[in-house]
Structure 1
Amino acid sequence: MTVLRQKVDVLTNQSQEIYKLLKKNLISKEYANYQFMQKSQIPTMHFQRSLPRLPIPALDLTCKRYLAAQKPLLIDEAYIKTESNVEQFINTSGKHLQELLKNYDRLNKHSSYISEFWSDSYLRDRKPIPINYNPILVVHKDERPAYNNQLIRSANMIISSLRFYKSLKADILEPEVYHLNPKKSDTERFRNICSKLPPAISWYGAYLFKAYPLDMSQYPNLFNTTRIPEIDKDRLIHNPAGKHITVQYKGHFYAFRVLTNNNDIIPAKQILARLKYILEDPIPKCEFPIGILTTLERNKWASLRHELESNGNDQCLKYIDSALFNVCLDSEDLGEDPYGIVRNFLHGDGENRWFDKSFSLQISKDGQAAVNFEHAWGDGVAVLRYIQDVYTDSRENPFISPDTDPYDDNISNVIRLDVHLNDKIKSSIQEAKNEYKSTCKSLDIDYLIFNRIGKNVCKKQAVSPDAIMQLGFQVGYYRMTGKFVPTYESCSTAAFKHGRTETVRPCTNATKAFVLAVTSKNKPPVSELKYLISECSKGHNQLTREAAMGQGFDRHLFALKKFAEKTNMACNIFEDPAYAMLNHIILSTSTLNSPAIFAGGFGPVVKNGLGVGYIIKDDELGVLVTSYPPYHRGSDFIDSLRGTFDELVSLLQKY
């Protein structure tokens, strides 16, 4: 066994060799159980080569869908003008831009036509990334109180994160697959057949089972990845050589290795000891925490980062940038109040955060846990998979218990990163604290938990639960303001190679008809209202299918606009005020459902907008709303939603 272990050590970086050894059970069970979270029969990236490419929609269909989204928002005169602009665009510049986009797509078959443009849009935006861009996913606490001790929970979640990372690197993490009929495809037979198919045709084999493998190209960027601020456009760096994590506590940065030279996870007792050492460090709270600088406008932060580097902090920043991931150990007890929990993890005071990291694992003093992630490198689908796997693994396979004794024979392996600051940087840190405090104070966070409706009620009435949620948002907003506004629902296009997201536009002619009917003084009979609800559900399902299949219009027009800018081509469709209006998103909505998730949230994308994160459970729904009063008050929207969902469930259950 000693000889075999030496062989494994040599091959640790060669994922295919590890995969073969694991499959043949040539690695000790004890070793594999600690080092790897999963042992998938199908290699993690098995389907990547044969994934279909994101289609470029037909120009006329995109324009038709664009006009359909504009119709409920524009008065007749404005719509006629927009319609004329679109017709002219189809017959003139649109054709040329479509050909440019198709040529670009043909030359970049390794990716998708939207990937570069979409990442670029994140990296070029100069707004601060916390609240504006970085979302959070909050997981449930452990049902065993003793395991919610900050030291125990953070150690277990770090170990599970490393087991996830090792499984990903070894190509033995279960591939992400959407099973249309899990009883028929989520089976050993499916795995046996697909694992034996050559990667070049593996997707087609899964398709015959009505199972759809999803793109996993973003997953490697979960780890060792950081966004670096630069003037005008930031950049992403990925340093796979990093074998350490960074930990923030009381505003200070610490770093310690979690992987050996052979890429083995260090013993659990050592990880526990190193975290304990940090939590027991008697050093006072950091007066000038550099993490607050990641809350700044990006050009300002870029200048200050260069100042930091030139002031002798280059090595310190390299530790942060190259870390596998960042851990924020907070000093506050958050209790069970969703408001306080979300506010702390979404923004906090910024002093114990590094928002530029691909993701930070955040754990409060009383064991509440969340992930806050930077958005340029990837989307919520990859982060959701990571956090739900880590949440489950850390609960079901904890390597640290309340009885575990920490042990490390060389605690000096924990490094506190000493930062050298001149007066200019100190002054900038103080200014950033004040500025960020003002921003956070201006943000309202409100929530609704409604237990009269959920998936079960909707399915019984043969309507889409997501459609009912979105319909509720339309009715609720109209009741609050008397207006119909641009609405965004995020939809993943991970069914395609390097797919990112597409937009579903939930404000439709059908939803407008129902809103006007249900809010009128002379309401139609219940049967007519239920018919209108059914039509809204059908329409929403169609829009969702189109978006998921790469047939939405938003990303297509976005790419065409980028080519128009590149070639200095004037396009009346993009110069039309209606186009800018449609992309000034008032209702920004998103959902990521999982039994692991307690709450998810993000900030409004515009000052006069609402950020709406929601979860639909079997017999309950939850809505989290962020807003900037006095533009909007999320509490008013929540009050309106409460009455709206009451009425919707009453309508659905009648007759």
Structure 2
Amino acid sequence: MHRARPQWGAAALRSVVGSRRYWRTVGQPEGIVSEQDTDHHFVHRSTIPTIHFQPSLPRLPIPKLEDTITRYLAAQKPLLNDEEYRNTEQLAREFETGEGKIIHRDLLEHDRINKHTSYISGPWFDMYLSARDPIVFNYNPFITLNPDPKPGYNSQIVRATNLVVSSLKFLNSLKNDYLRPDIYYVNRKWGQSKLFKHFIRILPPTLSWYGAYLVNAYPLDMSQYKSLFNSTRIPNLSKDTLFTSEFARHLLVMRNGHFYVFEVLDPFGNILHPSEIQAHLTQIIHDADRLPGFELSYLTTEDRNTWATIRQQLVQKGNEENLKKIDSAVFCLCLDKASPKNEIELTHCFLHGYGFNRWFDKSFSLIITSDGTAGINFEHSWGDGIAVLRFINEVYRDSTEHPALVPQSSPAFFVTSCDKLEFHMGRTITSAISAARKKFDEKRKKFCVRTFRHERFGKQFIINQKLSPDAVFQLACQMAVYHLYGKLRPSYEACSTAAFKHGRTETIRPTSVYTKKCTVAFIDQRGMHSIEDMRNMIDECSKYHRRLQLEATLGQGFDRHLFALKHLVQRRGGRIPDIYNDPAYKNINHIIISSSTLGSQAVNHGGFGPVVPDGFGVGYNVFDNWIGCIITSYLDKDSEELIKYLEYTLNDIFDILEGRSLM
């Protein structure tokens, strides 16, 4: 039988700071936390400081130009006919031996004099922040959490309070350098070794990475974490900016489109008592539900130049302080009235909602529906999924294992009122909100979501076949696309390069000569090959995909390198080389299948929008005994067809692996 962890009241007393009650250990000065009290303020206290490895992390390598061109051509070959490929190969080789050689040399020199960062970091920020499309649908992904395993803890207020408290504990751990560093252990025993941790701790930060490397442990970059809290993307004409406040201690809560703020931390990092957080959230729901919906936040769904112009008008109308409170808030908590009934409704809710109960510019928003379903919607320019996933894992574990509230908890009787943000708006701003709502609603109606679940096999079966689970799913996607279009189309799989200082992501290109050969054998030449030959083709696809994964993880893909070379030319105002004007280059970057996977005990599912109007966003996971994905698109009929063919091709792959011929 589960026993709830003793509540904070058992070992703490109330400290009145500015008429707010915070928690600290009995008989202890404010701001000083004892070892026994760590669970009240931190998710944990790491032996190794959080950023201990940052100074010694290896730098993201710039691939050799000849390797990049070779990889680029290998990715182009299955997408082009012979004549198209010859033309593309000629342009690529001319670039390699001509102007590309000079630009590459300049990129190496630029990288040499900027050793504090990576060659891709600046261009990647520019790419995101210069994009003028709305960030909702196009950029912001979402991840939903599994329910709390104890059903009674899934009511909206209880779960929201527990997740808010655990999020603040994560923030305190991060700020105090207590959060465990992200480390990939080849041998997990070192992650549990106290001797190893103490040895690493005494090493100077400039040498710490090498100490971990000695035991095949690989620390990861954690520079993105500084933008996780108190951060917002600010719209500006031409290029947005990222804003982070170091000192703000208030939480932003949205309900029915209305904005409320209240302080959740005191100046020493002590967290507001859970019963008071509970009371504030109860008050907010009661107050907001008596009011008509407030639609200001529709503006964050607009294209960035339009939103930048209207935001400036909001400032001129005297709303600057309110906007600062939104921008600087620890994070945004969205308390939704909705109660999604299935995964499709859940995806719509967490990816875009109804537009007016989200501030999509916040670094992340914690969303809790009326039935206690929880998840994250995050702005993508500041960071990638790996940082958000670590946050989710820690917060889910802490909130379920050490809940701040039990279902029977009563809210505090006497709490100061939280501040409701009131805005001054004229006719121009009101009209802009109406226009934003109309555009958002039109986009939402066209946006379709489909879910897929295949239960004949999963990760365990594939591993027993000595194959890569990721490769098998990607191969099935290639076959499904071929069924749908009669040819292979450009595909993309995201891969983190967090093993390097300021690494972001690299692209895995799942479409290859191996997947093309296998696809043609399964579809166009069905029944013409032996079971053994077809099994060997699957093996070849798996081996090549593993190679692509390894190259991308080590920063040895081609996409980021070619992107950085082009960015360098554009920044200097030079002529764009012919390789970038090649229709084949534009085609390979018109991504029809954009895919990503996240695996975690805390995660229910996740997803994102397609990156092109005629494409698909595929968020997938290969579980132990089944395979699931969420597919987003603006092509309703094609989405249905894609799922039908995905089921069909996974069945074909399973039959071959089981030694059965295709019917």
Normalising to structure 2: TM-score of the pair? 0.93
Give me the whole-angstrom Cα distance separating, in 1, the residues matched to 2:34 and 2:294: 48
Instruction: Name 1:533's counterpart in structure 2.
Output: 538
Give aligned pairs, total.
633
Give me the whole-angstrom Cα distance separating, in 1, the residues matched to 2:33 and 2:477: 53
Of residues 237, 249, 258, the one that matches 2:255 is: 249
- 1:608-629, CA deviations, whole angstroms, 9 ceiling, x for partnerless residues? 0010000111111111100112
Instruction: Name 2:183's counterpart in structure 1.
Output: 177
- Which segments of 5 or more consecutive residues in structure 1 lack a partner in the other structure? 10-21
Do residues 363 (structure 1) and 363 (structure 2) align? Answer: no
Residue 489 of structure 1 contacts residue 590 of structure 1 at CA under 8 Å; is this kept in 2?
yes
Instruction: Name 1:442's counterpart in structure 2.
Output: 446
Residue 185 of structure 1 contacts residue 210 of structure 1 at CA under 8 Å; is this kept in 2?
no
Residue 136 of structure 1 contacts residue 601 of structure 1 at CA under 8 Å; is this kept in 2?
yes
Following superposition, the deviation at residue 188 of structure 1 comes to 2.5
Residue 491 of structure 2 contacts residue 594 of structure 2 at CA under 8 Å; is this kept in 1?
yes
Residue 360 of structure 2 contacts residue 379 of structure 2 at CA under 8 Å; is this kept in 1?
yes
Give me the whole-angstrom Cα distance separating, in 2, the residues matched to 1:237 and 1:28: 33
Residue identity matched to 1:642: E
Of residues 484, 487, 506, the one that matches 2:488 is: 484
Instruction: Name 1:65's counterpart in structure 2.
Output: 71
Instruction: Name 1:162's counterpart in structure 2.
Output: 168
Instruction: Name 1:423's counterpart in structure 2.
Output: 427
Do residues 315 (structure 1) and 318 (structure 2) align? Answer: no
Of residues 558, 579, 583, the one that matches 2:589 is: 583
Instruction: Name 2:194's counterpart in structure 1.
Output: 188
Residue 256 of structure 2 contacts residue 288 of structure 2 at CA under 8 Å; is this kept in 1?
no
Following superposition, the deviation at residue 543 of structure 1 comes to 0.5
Give me the whole-angstrom Cα distance separating, in 2, the residues matched to 1:399 and 1:295: 34
Residue 157 of structure 1 contacts residue 390 of structure 1 at CA under 8 Å; is this kept in 2?
yes
Following superposition, the deviation at residue 334 of structure 1 comes to 1.7
Residue 489 of structure 1 contacts residue 589 of structure 1 at CA under 8 Å; is this kept in 2?
yes
Matched residue SS, 1:253? strand
Do residues 544 (structure 1) and 549 (structure 2) align? Answer: yes
Matches within 5 A, 1:369-448: 369-407=374-412, 409-412=414-417, 414-448=418-452
Following superposition, the deviation at residue 329 of structure 1 comes to 0.3
Normalising to structure 1: TM-score of the pair? 0.94
Residue 251 of structure 1 contacts residue 285 of structure 1 at CA under 8 Å; is this kept in 2?
no
Of residues 633, 644, 647, the one that matches 1:642 is: 647
Following superposition, the deviation at residue 62 of structure 1 comes to 0.3
Residue identity matched to 2:364: F
Matched residue SS, 1:612? strand
Do residues 220 (structure 1) and 226 (structure 2) align? Answer: yes
Following superposition, the deviation at residue 288 of structure 1 comes to 4.0
Following superposition, the deviation at residue 576 of structure 1 comes to 1.1
Following superposition, the deviation at residue 333 of structure 1 comes to 1.6
Of residues 504, 510, 514, the one that matches 1:510 is: 514
- 1:50-109, CA deviations, whole angstroms, 9 ceiling, x for partnerless residues? 000000000000000000000000111011011111111111111110111111111211
Of residues 210, 214, 218, the one that matches 2:216 is: 210
Matched residue SS, 1:218? helix
Following superposition, the deviation at residue 286 of structure 1 comes to 4.0
Residue identity matched to 1:513: K
Instruction: Name 2:612's counterpart in structure 1.
Output: 606
Matches within 5 A, 1:115-126: 115-126=121-132
Give me the whole-angstrom Cα distance separating, in 2, the residues matched to 1:633 and 1:116: 37
Residue 478 of structure 2 contacts residue 488 of structure 2 at CA under 8 Å; is this kept in 1?
yes
Residue 38 of structure 2 contacts residue 44 of structure 2 at CA under 8 Å; is this kept in 1?
no
Matched residue SS, 2:495? strand
Give me the whole-angstrom Cα distance separating, in 2, the residues matched to 1:481 and 1:408: 63
Give me the whole-angstrom Cα distance separating, in 1, the residues matched to 2:638 and 2:291: 35
Following superposition, the deviation at residue 586 of structure 1 comes to 0.6
- 1:482-524, CA deviations, whole angstroms, 9 ceiling, x for partnerless residues? 1111100000000000000000000000000000001124431
- 1:385-428, CA deviations, whole angstroms, 9 ceiling, x for partnerless residues? 0011111111110011112121163322x101011111111111
Give me the whole-angstrom Cα distance separating, in 1, the residues matched to 2:189 and 2:37: 33
Of residues 450, 465, 487, the one that matches 1:461 is: 465
Residue 185 of structure 1 contacts residue 209 of structure 1 at CA under 8 Å; is this kept in 2?
no
Give me the whole-angstrom Cα distance separating, in 1, the residues matched to 2:599 and 2:366: 19
Residue identity matched to 1:129: I
Following superposition, the deviation at residue 593 of structure 1 comes to 0.8
Following superposition, the deviation at residue 431 of structure 1 comes to 1.6
Matched residue SS, 2:206? coil
Matches within 5 A, 1:105-144: 105-144=111-150
Identity of matched residues, %? 45
- Which segments of 5 or more consecutive residues in structure 2 lack a partner in the other structure? 1-11, 17-27
Residue 288 of structure 1 contacts residue 429 of structure 1 at CA under 8 Å; is this kept in 2?
no
Residue 288 of structure 1 contacts residue 426 of structure 1 at CA under 8 Å; is this kept in 2?
no
Of residues 625, 649, 662, the one that matches 1:619 is: 625
- 1:418-449, CA deviations, whole angstroms, 9 ceiling, x for partnerless residues? 11111111111112111101101101100111
Aligned residues: CA RMSD: 1.8
Give me the whole-angstrom Cα distance separating, in 2, the residues matched to 1:595 and 1:161: 18
Residue identity matched to 1:96: I
Instruction: Name 1:15's counterpart in structure 2.
Output: none
Give me the whole-angstrom Cα distance separating, in 2, the residues matched to 1:153 and 1:541: 40
Residue 137 of structure 1 contacts residue 371 of structure 1 at CA under 8 Å; is this kept in 2?
yes
Instruction: Name 1:12's counterpart in structure 2.
Output: none
Change (3 A) 1:287 1:269: closer
Of residues 262, 270, 273, the one that matches 1:264 is: 270
Give me the whole-angstrom Cα distance separating, in 1, the residues matched to 2:293 and 2:265: 32
Change (3 A) 1:402 1:192: same
Instruction: Name 1:81's counterpart in structure 2.
Output: 87
- 1:180-223, CA deviations, whole angstroms, 9 ceiling, x for partnerless residues? 12135543332222122111111111111111100000011000
Instruction: Name 1:347's counterpart in structure 2.
Output: 352
Instruction: Name 1:19's counterpart in structure 2.
Output: none
Change (3 A) 1:282 1:471: closer
Residue 101 of structure 1 contacts residue 560 of structure 1 at CA under 8 Å; is this kept in 2?
yes
Of residues 285, 290, 299, the one that matches 1:293 is: 299
Give me the whole-angstrom Cα distance separating, in 2, the residues matched to 1:78 and 1:517: 23
Residue identity matched to 1:294: T
Instruction: Name 2:559's counterpart in structure 1.
Output: 554
